[in-house]
Amino acid sequence: MMMHVNEARDSGDAPVDNTAYLYIVDTGYQPNADSTTVVTQFDVSDPNYLLIAPESPHDSGWHGTAVATVAATTDNKIGYAGMANLEGQRCQLIVMRISQDGESSDTIRIIRALSYIASESGLHPGAVNLSFGQKPPDTLNNDPAIQLSAQVLQQGGFQLVLAAGNDGVPDNSPEQYARRVAACDQNGNLATFSETGPFKACAPGVSVPVYTSTNGTTPYLGSGTSFSAPRWSGGIAIIMAATGMTASQADAVLLSTGSQLKSGFVIPNVKAALDKATGH
């Protein structure tokens, strides 16, 4: 309701016949009965093995599956409403598995995954969701190598979206080429665990219904900026599918049309974003 997804679905602007493309850089993805139509997964989990190869979708932990739920899984029977699926399962997920143990990764594997997305021919531009991170001041956003990767992605029509972090402290690194997303609750209050700083993007990230690779189709409520970032990424995906915009252009539309919270953060208004993007 806060993000006006239902109004967007009923507006006639939804990309009914177009495919949205969304990249998840995480622990992997465990398919289930309500999975998106197409899931492609690549193994970037071994820091000592440079070859990036396709693999069968699976989750080395649970986090990537949960993140992908928020971004792209729609199941009206149990209340899941993936942001990138305004009309059915029309989002193609491209998953980069960067963790062997389902919990840890490092900057080397993350940069390899981002570089592959930016350089591999045949990959459609889209939002690149990265819900991994470290406590300030050593955040991914504050890493020059990550910002360079984000810049290269932008030049190729992609947009890197970062979860702001769950330490409840400021991240004062500047907003450059990556979009950071904070978390709020269902009443629009900034989540106490969310990082803050010189950035404005926000999305609901408290008690979010998700699938995990361990709980199957049993509803599970998760909290964290890990679940607010894919909502922003999904918003980018549907605007791109509706208009042919680049990911950074769609990201700018989301930010300019969003609803401002008392805290000054901005959450997506999908109906307003589609109206602006499609000229309605």
pLDDT for 1 equals 56
Q: What are phi and psi of 73, to 5 degrees?
A: -100, 125
Distance from the Cα of residue 192 to its chain's centroid = 21
49 — pLDDT class (breaks 50, 70, 90): confident
Asked if residue 154 lies in contact with residue 119, where contact means CB atoms within 8 angstroms, the answer is no
Q: For the chain, how far is it from start to end, CA to CA, in angstroms?
A: 21
Query: What pLDDT is attached to residue 7?
Result: 77
How many whole angstroms separate alpha carbon 85 and alpha carbon 189? Answer: 26
pLDDT at 258: 96
Q: What percentage of residues in the chain have a pLDDT greater than 70?
A: 88
Query: Which domains can be identified in the chain, with CATH numbers?
Result: 5-275 (3.40.50.200)
Q: Which two tokens stand for residue 168?
A: 């409840």
Q: What is the pTM of this model?
A: 0.94
User: Please, which pLDDT band fits residue 220 given cuts at 50, 70 and 90?
Assistant: confident
- Tokens standing for residue 152: 């290269």
Give the integer Cα–Cα distance in Å for 162 and 255: 15
* Averaged pLDDT, 64-78: 79
